[in-house]
Amino acid sequence: MKKVQFKSNYSQYFFLAPQLGILLIFLYWPIIQTFRDAFTMQDAFGFGRQFVWFDNFLFIFDDPAYLIAFKFTIIYSFVITLVTGAIGLLLAVQANNVMHGKSAYKTLLIWPYAIAPAVVGVMANYFFSERFGLLYHLFNDLWGFNWYESVFDSYIYLIIAGSWKQISANFIFFLAGLQAIQQSVIEASIIDCKSSFRRFWTITFPLLMPTTFFLIIINITYAFFDTFGIIDTTTIGAPSGETRTLVYKAYMDGFRGLDLGSAGAQSIMMMLIVLVITIFQFRYIEGKIHYN
Amino acid sequence: MIRYFSSNFSHLILLIGIFIMIIPVWLIFASSTHTASIINTQGLQFFLGDKFLENYTKVLLYEGGFFKEITALKMFLNSFLMATGVAFVSVISSLMTAYVLVYFRVKYATLLFWIIFITILVPLELRIFPTYSVMSTLNLVNSYWGLIIPISASAIATLFFRQFYKTIPDELLESAKLDGANTWRFFIDFLVPLSKTMIVAMFIFMFVFGYNQYLWPILVTSSEQYWTVVMGLKMMSGSIVNKFAFVIMSMIPPVLIIIVLQKYFIKGIFQDK
């Protein structure tokens, strides 16, 4: 905090009012309702409400579809994080290496970041359609690819669709991280170590740790929440609900099934997962990384 | 000189990366300039056809929604209003909140900080049905405010502004106080002009965020009159080439903004002045 500040006075309420007002009405009020939904059950006609303790939670854990969605979400976020992080880092290192055309490369690589996940999904749809999809036919020739039936193939489909635009975000942040490393550190390391490959893993990569962990969080958040638009425009959960993320399943249960109790309980489970990841990041990872 | 190792290899990798980014969009664009029967019989096209004007004007002006009550042009207008609204509301409110958090000696400062920042952990997707029921209580379903406000309820920009204010030297407020500036003057005359880059960066960020919304507009608009571009894509009827054309057009606004204002965006996000 600043050493010099204004004394508390009435104008602070004016400055705080817009955001606090919006957060209280459009965020805290719905969150309170989410908790109410999660711990109550509505009768069939929607008139009465009964407090049922953890019944909604027990119900979702008994639901095999929830465990399938859980498994898919974990695998999907892990693979997306790994694939986009690795490709983003590879491209950033190369862009940091070149003498000429650095800014042109940057421009040509960052624009997919701006495209909506749902638009990416609609596009991916065209490349994986049975009728004229180029990738569908390429993979089909290679190993009989058929995402309508094979779980593995539908994973491949969603991983390609989900990674494409996220590579850009990883590229931008890794490039910024690389450019922030002091030139003198790099010069000194060249004297000590001839192999540029080893130099990268022993000097540069450890210095990139803050960026890497920031991107892990960004990528996991993306895979959890932003991929809704991709799934809803591509597989819609096919084959038989195997490719639904937790967010997608919660939405479908609430919207199609009108089961708000289950949707509320699923939302609270997601909040807990996000909370755990955040605490893990602050407590565990932040203490162990090197800052320049 | 030091960086000159294997420069050709770097160029090759980068070109492959660019190829992967551009080629899907190019194929859809090239295909959008053909007739539907060519696509249906021969698949996606690599070279341009001659139906560019015809396909694009048809989508833009005639065939839009499922019930054909809306044109793509109207959807673009809706998306633009929504994105601009989200950007304005969240940037202005965040700028003001961050000002209080950094520059005021507030009672219960820690509590205030947590009330604001814990919200980052609860994205709209996790409270979407209750938010809908709040909106319908407030009679905001099928309205522009209904599209804008829940998306603007985010403290991400506040976090960025707060970080930025903390890098401004203390002497600024000291000297402003000597000149007799009150809280309002200091905000308008000193802080806002200083944060210009950051404001533009956050504006771009929130504009793209608002434009790209998919789930919320589907839920909150039952009337086609409020459909936005991104949600309209899935709803749209019409031939395959019209869909291709719509997909291409839907990317143009956010991609253009990111490319043209790239400098501000990157400067703001990484906070180098």
What tens digit of pLDDT does each residue of A218-234 get? 899 999 999 999 999 99
Q: Which of B122, B128, B234 sits opposite A118 (nearest CB)?
A: B234
Best mutation target, B29, B184, B214, to test chain A (most A CBs within 10 A): B214
Interface of A with B in 145-164 (CB under 8 A): 164
The CATH number, out of the four listed (1.10.3720.10, 1.20.1050.10, 1.10.1060.10, 3.40.50.300), of the domain defined by the range A68-288: 1.10.3720.10
B182 contacts in chain A (CB < 8 Å): 11
CA distances, A214 to each of A173, A197, A282 (Å)? 9, 24, 11
CB contact under 8 A, B247 and A2: no
Poorest-pLDDT segment among A24-38, A87-101, B213-227, B229-243: B229-243
* Vertex B267: Cα angle to B113 and B12 (nearest 5): 125
Q: What is the pTM of this model?
A: 0.92
What tens digit of pLDDT does each residue of B84-125 get? 999 999 999 999 999 999 999 888 888 998 999 888 888 898
Is the reported ipTM for this assembly greater than 0.85? Answer: yes
CB count within 10 Å of CB B262 equals 17
Residue A90: closest C-alpha in chain B: B13
Instruction: Find the helix packing angle between A209-221 and A64-97, rounded to 10°.
Output: 140
Q: How many helices (H) and strands (E) does chain A have?
A: 16, 3
B64 pLDDT more than 70: no
Nearest 10 degrees: Cα torsion B200, B206, B212, B217: -140
Residue A70 at interface with chain B, using a CB cutoff of 8 Å: no
Residue B237 at interface with chain A, using a CB cutoff of 8 Å: no
B7 pLDDT more than 90: no
B187 contacts in chain A (CB < 8 Å): 15
Q: How much is the pLDDT for B1? A: 44
Residue A87 at interface with chain B, using a CB cutoff of 8 Å: yes
Pairing of β A40-42 and β A49-51: antiparallel
A211 contacts in chain B (CB < 8 Å): none
Residue A19 at interface with chain B, using a CB cutoff of 8 Å: yes
Residue A8 at interface with chain B, using a CB cutoff of 8 Å: yes
CB contact under 8 A, B14 and A254: no
What number does CATH give the domain B2-270?
A: 1.10.3720.10
